Structure 1
Amino acid sequence: MQLDLLRADCGNCHGLCCVALTFAKSADFAIDKEAGEPCPNLQDDFRCGIHAKLRPEGFPGCTVYDCFGAGQKVSRLAGPSWREQPGQKMFEALPIMRQLHELLWYLTEALELKETRSIHAELQKTRHQVEELTLQDLATVDLAAERQQVNELLLQTSKLVRGKQPKKKDRRGADLFGAKLRGADLRAANLRGAYLIAADLREADLRQADLIGADLRDADLRGADLTGALFLTQSQVNAARGDSKTKLPDAVLRPTHWG
């Protein structure tokens, strides 16, 4: 499985995220919307009527969301859209499928790293198991158990790639809200689950840093180097700020709103 297969393909989705998810009127969404209620911007062809201007129209939350390809997978398995059949099962399946596809993203990334050759067999076996789960009754999936099993492999991956690092670079779960880290040397740092909301990371060196679960909302990544950063997702990058000088891993696309 290639990472490209785990990217959102809105052209082959029934607009599920625009219906299944709840919107709360805030800085992220201009309106309140209940789960199961179609967004008023959703068109008959399941496309967003304001896709090109979501941020100025008050919907930046939509530009941050990424389903990891779960939307088109659920749509394909369901067949007819929610307009042609009761959609509750599809709506309930989306968040579960999304979490499984997120795990597949991490496992696929780990398999593409030369440093993980010693655990390739286990990574491949686990990825196959998760793929099989996406084709079963999602209501029976124990997500907590699956995450725990996958996380053990991802921790091994992180150690293999990052090697032995000084204790100062272990910032797992650290509260770095608004931290002044401009130009900081964070190479191969453990930033798993770190709170980097609105942190100043301009020109910071984040090469091979483990960023799984890190909160990068409004983090300033202008000029930062994230080459080879581990487990960085499109959602995290979309939520941050960057520019043409920001260096990203090959698997992550530069957000259009970065300019």
Structure 2
Amino acid sequence: MTEAPAPAALRGDCANCFGLCCVALPFAVSADFAVTKPAGKPCANLQQDFRCGIHTRLRDQGFSGCTVYDCFGAGQKVSQVTFGSKDWRQAPDTAPQMFGVFPVVRQLHELLFYVTEALALEPARPLHPELRLLRDETEALTLLGPDALAALDVGAQRQKVNALLLKASSLVRGNPGKKKNRRGADLMGARLRKADLRGADLRGAYLIAADLSGADLRTADLIGADLRDTNLAGADLTGAFFLTQPQLNAARGDSVTKLPKALVRPAHWG
């Protein structure tokens, strides 16, 4: 049996990463990024020690996109395990493969994050044995060598995990009624102030700039929901699940927004 990853292993640890998200990933000038950078080129703000030179000023400098990204611990896994602590500057021949493998491991770690959370959901207890097996299987995939990771069909693993997460979601949400099935819905700019969304299925919903101030989102499934600029002021997200810190970081809230215990109030909320 593969040892289960500790919660800290599923959070980005920049001190043990070779700045992979700052090099491997591309971004285009937009409201989220001040400049355009192609994949494989180091960001101009990346320092020699692989740390960001403007980390505390990212939003002010036009890089808010960086503040809502999390590798789920894939950066340190690829840096320290997959490539045995040999960085791409010391061994430039490893760079193309390292940058190609990083997004693969990131997807696997994201799946591990959701499966790990599902294992903490009491109503999903009947599925826990299956979830543990899938967690161990996914963790084992993250430990493959670079060549095997590069050839891995992550989509197939995602389908397996998603099928079980859907079952877990159903058990947690209960039977809230068809009106609360907003899966994949286009709710951009929607006025949902003080809406009763308890137990709602908001998987993959587009909630960009939506007004959810004062809304009741207890036990709502928020996996993959786009919360960019979503107004969560005064909203109750107690018990909302499959919600990530990057999703919260992309939203707007206030001092009375109620959050799940595992998440922290973003600094820019004030």
TM-score by length of 1: 0.97
How far the C-alpha of 1:22 sits from its partner, in A, is 0.7
> Is the deviation greater in 246-255 or in 202-211?
246-255
1:130 to 2:138 alignment: yes
- Between the aligned partners of 1:188 and 1:139, the Cα distance in structure 2 is 38
How far the C-alpha of 1:253 sits from its partner, in A, is 2.4
2:6 aligned partner: 2
Which amino acid in structure 2 is aligned with residue 117 of structure 1? Answer: R
Which amino acid in structure 2 is aligned with residue 129 of structure 1? Answer: E
How far the C-alpha of 1:96 sits from its partner, in A, is 0.8
1:44 to 2:48 alignment: yes
- Between the aligned partners of 1:227 and 1:5, the Cα distance in structure 2 is 24
- Between the aligned partners of 1:12 and 1:249, the Cα distance in structure 2 is 27
How far the C-alpha of 1:140 sits from its partner, in A, is 2.2
How far the C-alpha of 1:141 sits from its partner, in A, is 1.5
1:253 aligned partner: 264
1:114 aligned partner: 122
Which amino acid in structure 2 is aligned with residue 132 of structure 1? Answer: A
1:13 aligned partner: 17
- Between the aligned partners of 2:268 and 2:171, the Cα distance in structure 1 is 34
Gaps of 5+ in 1: none
1:98 to 2:106 alignment: yes
Render the CA deviation track for 1:154-195: whole Å, top value 9, x for unaligned.
011001111112111111111111000111110010111111
- Between the aligned partners of 1:166 and 1:142, the Cα distance in structure 2 is 36
4+ aligned runs moved over 6 Å, structure 1: none
The SS at the match of 2:129 is: helix
Which amino acid in structure 1 is aligned with residue 31 of structure 2? Answer: A
Which amino acid in structure 1 is aligned with residue 91 of structure 2? Answer: Q
- Between the aligned partners of 2:168 and 2:153, the Cα distance in structure 1 is 23
1:185 aligned partner: 196
The SS at the match of 1:20 is: coil
Which amino acid in structure 1 is aligned with residue 107 of structure 2? Answer: Q
TM-score by length of 2: 0.93
Say if 1:223 and 1:243, in contact at 8 Å, map to a contact too. Answer: yes
How far the C-alpha of 1:80 sits from its partner, in A, is 1.2
2:64 aligned partner: 60
1:83 aligned partner: 89
How far the C-alpha of 1:32 sits from its partner, in A, is 1.2
Gaps of 5+ in 2: none
- Between the aligned partners of 1:168 and 1:3, the Cα distance in structure 2 is 35
1:163 to 2:144 alignment: no
Say if 2:176 and 2:198, in contact at 8 Å, map to a contact too. Answer: no
- Between the aligned partners of 1:15 and 1:30, the Cα distance in structure 2 is 19
- Between the aligned partners of 2:107 and 2:245, the Cα distance in structure 1 is 14
How many residues are aligned here?
A: 259
- Between the aligned partners of 2:258 and 2:152, the Cα distance in structure 1 is 37
How far the C-alpha of 1:119 sits from its partner, in A, is 1.2
1:227 aligned partner: 238
Which amino acid in structure 2 is aligned with residue 82 of structure 1? Answer: W
Render the CA deviation track for 1:178-217: whole Å, top value 9, x for unaligned.
0001111100101111110100011110010011111111
- The percentage of counterpart residues that share the same residue type is 66
Q: Which of 32, 37, 42 in structure 2 is aligned with 1:33?
A: 37
- Between the aligned partners of 1:84 and 1:67, the Cα distance in structure 2 is 23
The SS at the match of 2:23 is: helix
1:73 aligned partner: 77
- Between the aligned partners of 1:161 and 1:50, the Cα distance in structure 2 is 41
